């Protein structure tokens, strides 16, 4: 998998160079040096991102089978500052430094043992990254390198890839991200290096990608893909691999129906997983998922139904240190295990349904508010229908970048009519 990582980094470097609009210098293996001109714009860059989350989870009917009951109640602030250079109207460079601050509500220092919870310890992680954005005719290239917020990922990754809890706890990526946007398509590639080899610490990294291309005004094809390398510590040499792919076809009938959203997404989920020292052959979990979206008057329903085998066959397996693989190895929502009884073979067919009813009013272009209720159901041969629990969620987001770089409208001509493509990813 490291060869794939090296290939991605090479592609990242080539496109970052190509974004400058110069041909390659075949003899110098680079690009011609740019001449300094007084027209180059150098300015201060800054950003503020705030996120408030309340997530009450009530899973008492299946306590410990999938996930624990409890409440996640957090406030996070990510301010950053840096320098921006815009040599032309088509190219923008930024180098940014920031700090990720997060508070778990109610987690206060009340005893000497809680001293670590004092305010300075709310400073969770430094962000430092390089960002380039360039337009080449009808193509927009965006790239990040360093430690940068996970929210910069704009691809459509399902709950089987990244759970809601993960996005709250692991807020930043350490690696690189490359995005290519066309008038009717978007492709994204990235890597996240989560662990360096050492005592008690595994070497871990993930490669991920997503893409979507519109065939018509209402039909598109796409994919989501990740590969997770879960390697050795200094004490033992157990290596594991977890690859998950999701090709999909999507129908978007919102414009035709006059509704805010009316969509259907049909996906195939297939994995390749192996514990190299324990199981030589790959396990191949698979299934199908149907996602339905309806929204009108800012009230919506998002329903995802998966049918197939467990996507997490080694969830309860112990490694050489006696620790369960669990959420260290599987980053998706744990209910994609689908089986409520321990000992059920992972390849026994079953299903999982996630139904979310939400209200998402428009407050401002740079503010998002979403209030929702989520209900979870599973079923298999042992228990054909099981209500697993529910969530009550409130999310508030303030994103200064949407105010500093407001949405522009790009007009692209199709065979039938002129379509408007709106994106926050436009210079």
Phi, psi (deg, nearest 5) at residue 273: -135, 145
Structure tokens at 137: 């005719």
The owner of tokens 């996630």 is 354
Count of residues making up the chain = 427
Q: What is the pLDDT of residue 111?
A: 64
Q: What is the pLDDT of residue 1?
A: 67
> Helix and strand tally (H, E) in the chain?
5, 19
Beta strands in 89-157 (DSSP E): 91-104, 123-136, 139-149
Would you say 208 and 194 are in contact if contact means Cβ atoms under 8 Å apart? no
Would you say 186 and 155 are in contact if contact means Cβ atoms under 8 Å apart? yes
Would you say 101 and 124 are in contact if contact means Cβ atoms under 8 Å apart? yes
Q: What is the pLDDT of residue 338?
A: 92
User: What b-and-e string marks burial along 202-219, b requiring 16 or more CB atoms within 10 Å of the CB?
Assistant: bbbbbbbbbbbebeebbe
The owner of tokens 């946007």 is 181
Please choose, from the candidates 19, 2, 402, the residue with its C-alpha nearest in 3D space to the C-alpha of residue 179.
19
Every domain of the chain and the residues it spans:
2-423
Q: What is the pLDDT of residue 94?
A: 96
Domain 2-423 coded CATH 2.40.160: yes
Structure tokens at 390: 């529910």
Would you say 5 and 205 are in contact if contact means Cβ atoms under 8 Å apart? yes
Q: What is the pLDDT of residue 7?
A: 64
Helix (H, G, I), strand (E, B) or coil at 2: helix
Q: If phi over 0 gives left and psi between -120 and 50 gives alpha, with beta otherwise, what is residue 364?
A: beta
Q: What is the pLDDT of residue 410?
A: 37
The DSSP string of 143-199 is EEEEEEEGGG--S---TTTS-HHHHHH--EEEEEEEEEEETTEEEEEEEEEEE-SBT
Phi, psi (deg, nearest 5) at residue 125: -160, 145
- Cβ contacts of 64 within 8 Å, gap of 6 or more: none
Helix (H, G, I), strand (E, B) or coil at 99: strand
Q: What is the pLDDT of residue 409?
A: 35
- Cβ contacts of 143 within 8 Å, gap of 6 or more: 12, 15, 16, 19, 131, 132, 133, 176, 177, 178, 179
Phi, psi (deg, nearest 5) at residue 24: -70, 140
Q: What is the pLDDT of residue 202?
A: 82
User: What b-and-e string marks burial along 1-35, b requiring 16 or more CB atoms within 10 Å of the CB?
Assistant: eeeebeebeeebeebbebbbeeeeeeeeeeeeeee
Q: What is the pLDDT of residue 22?
A: 43
Beta strands in 254-298 (DSSP E): 261-275, 286-296
The owner of tokens 């190219």 is 91
In the predicted model, residues of the chain with pLDDT beneath 70 are 1-40, 60-64, 109-120, 277-280, 407-427
């Amino acid at each position: 998998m490291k060869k794939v990582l090296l290939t991605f980094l090479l592609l990242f470097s080539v496109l970052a160079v190509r974004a400058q609009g110069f041909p390659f210098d075949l003899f110098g293996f680079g690009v011609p040096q740019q001449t300094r001109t007084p027209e180059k714009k150098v300015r201060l860059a800054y950003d503020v991102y705030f996120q408030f989350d309340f997530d009450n989870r009530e899973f008492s009917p299946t306590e410990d089978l999938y996930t624990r009951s409890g409440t996640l109640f957090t406030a996070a602030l990510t301010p950053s500052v840096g320098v921006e250079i815009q040599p032309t109207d088509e190219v923008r460079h930024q180098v940014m430094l920031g700090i990720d601050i997060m508070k778990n509500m109610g987690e206060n220092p009340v005893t000497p043992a809680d001293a670590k919870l004092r305010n300075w310890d709310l400073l969770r992680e430094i962000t430092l990254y390089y960002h380039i954005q360039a337009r080449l005719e009808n193509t927009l290239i965006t790239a990040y390198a360093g430690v940068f917020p996970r929210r910069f990922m704009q691809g459509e990754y399902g709950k089987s890839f990244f759970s809601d809890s993960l996005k709250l706890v692991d807020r930043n990526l350490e690696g690189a991200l490359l995005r290519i946007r066309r008038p009717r398509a978007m492709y994204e590639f990235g890597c996240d290096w989560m662990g360096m080899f050492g005592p008690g610490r595994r070497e871990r990294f993930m490669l991920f990608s997503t893409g979507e291309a519109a065939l018509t005004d209402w039909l598109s094809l796409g994919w989501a893909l990740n590969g997770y390398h879960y390697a050795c510590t200094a004490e033992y040499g157990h290596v594991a691999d977890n690859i998950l792919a999701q090709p999909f076809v999507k129908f978007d009938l919102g414009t035709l129906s006059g509704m805010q959203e009316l969509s259907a997404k049909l996906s195939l989920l297939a994995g390749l997983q192996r514990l190299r020292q324990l199981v030589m052959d790959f396990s191949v979990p698979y299934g199908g998922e149907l996602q339905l979206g309806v929204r009108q008057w800012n009230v919506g329903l998002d329903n995802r139904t998966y049918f197939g085998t467990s996507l997490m066959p080694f969830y309860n397996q112990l490694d050489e240190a006696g620790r369960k693989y669990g959420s260290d190895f599987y980053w998706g929502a744990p209910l994609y295990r689908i089986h409520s009884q321990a000992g059920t073979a992972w390849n026994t067919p079953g299903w999982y349904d996630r139904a979310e009813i939400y209200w998402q009013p428009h407050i401002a272009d740079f503010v998002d508010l979403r209030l929702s209720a989520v209900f979870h159901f599973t079923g298999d041969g042992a228990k054909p229908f099981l209500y697993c629990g529910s969530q009550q969620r409130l999310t508030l987001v303030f994103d200064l970048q949407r105010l500093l770089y407001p949405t522009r409208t790009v007009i692209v001509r199709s065979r039938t009519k002129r379509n408007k493509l709106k994106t926050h990813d436009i210079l």
